[in-house]
Each structure stands twice: as structure tokens, then as C-alpha cells.
Amino acid sequence: MTTHYISLTLKLFFLLTPFFVLSMFLTMTGDMCQTEQKSIARRTSLSNLIICCFVYFFGEYFFSLMGITLDAFRIGAGSVLFLNAVSLISGKFKTPETENSDFAVVPLSVPVTIGPGTIGTLLVMGADSKSFATKITDCAGIITAVFAVGMMLYFSGAVERFLGKRNIIILSKLTGLILSALAAQLIFTGILNFFKVSN
């Protein structure tokens, strides 16, 4: 379970595109004081945790209600995640526009941090996890990953000074590469399972 927890935490951490989120957070809160930035970071982190847990636990019911097979959703979620990864790598990921100052949940949490690819992956994870022990481990991984991203936002000023804007952009592109590999794994698993069932 320890190996699963560590693997899942790292996977989710990169799924949340932390360095891209950090660059967006710095852009959107650039004219705020430190107290306001920290408040936005806390609210965004809480929103991320609630949304991730909700999607994880109710994903299986979603599948049953919509009549969607797990492998079909794997392929769909993987495809969306791959497109997001390509956008990150190419630097053409569009920043959602907002007309008000209350952007902690929308768009900073959804869809900047938790995009369609992340939602799809969490739905698949929730449907795959059958045992109580696995669900507890998965929840621990979700909490840890969300907390890690939250800490990056909470101490965004210090992180920016330490890494530099240029390095944050580079790390964002590397995150895109990792996401593309995760997307490929989702798609390949879905296709492989589809052919197994067909045979």
C-alpha cells in the first residue's frame, strides 16, 4: 500500500499541473497583497479537495447512470488529458477569462487546476477501487497531492523567487510531458481491455 500511495500521490500531483497552476495564480493575483493571495490559495485548495473527493467517490454511480463503460471512459479521459498535455508543452494553453475578483473556485480551481483530464482520471480511479483499504489509500494520496499544490500557491511568492519565472514555465512544459505519458497509459489500458472483452 505504501508503494501505491507514493505512486498515486506523484501521479495526482502532476495531473493537477502544479507549475502551470502556479504561473496562472501569480498572474491572476499579481496586484494583490500577500494576505489576499494567501486567502485565495486557501480557498482554492479547499475547493480542489472537495471537488477531487466528490468526483472520486461518485464516479462509479456516474458510470451506472449514464451507461458508460469504464474502458470507454478511460479512452475518452486519456484523449482529453493528452490534448491538455500537448497544450501545456506547446505553450498554447488558454487562460480562462474572469470578469470578477472571486476566482478562487472558478476558474482557478476548475478548470485551471482540475481540468477535464483530471476529472476523467479520478472517475476511472474511483470506479477501479473496490476495497476499503484501496479507497483509504487513494484518499490519502488525493489529500497529499492537493495539499502539496496548495502549499505551492500559499507560498507562491517564495517559490517564484526561488525558481524564477523562466524555470516555472520550463517545469510546466515538463509537466505536460508527464501528463502525455499518463494519458497514453489510460488509452492503451482502455483499448487493451476492450479487445479482451471482445475476445
Distance of alpha carbon 83 from the chain centroid:
14
| Residue among 40, 41, 123, 33 at smallest CA distance from 78 | 123
- Give pTM, 2 decimals: 0.79
Cβ count within 10 A of residue 143 = 15
Per-residue pLDDT of the chain (199 residues; tens, 9 = 90+): 899 999 999 999 999 989 989 988 987 887 889 999 999 999 999 999 999 999 999 877 877 788 877 788 788 878 887 887 888 788 765 555 555 446 788 778 987 899 777 888 898 899 888 899 999 999 999 999 999 999 999 999 999 899 898 898 888 888 888 888 888 888 898 899 888 876 6
User: d(Cα 165, Cα 24) in Å, to the nearest integer?
Assistant: 11
Number of structural domains found in the chain: 1
Domain that holds residue 38: 2-198
| Residue among 87, 110, 84, 72 at smallest CA distance from 186 | 72
Q: Which residues contact 83 (CB under 8 A, 6 or more apart)?
A: 117
Side chain identity at 168, as an amino acid letter?
Answer: I
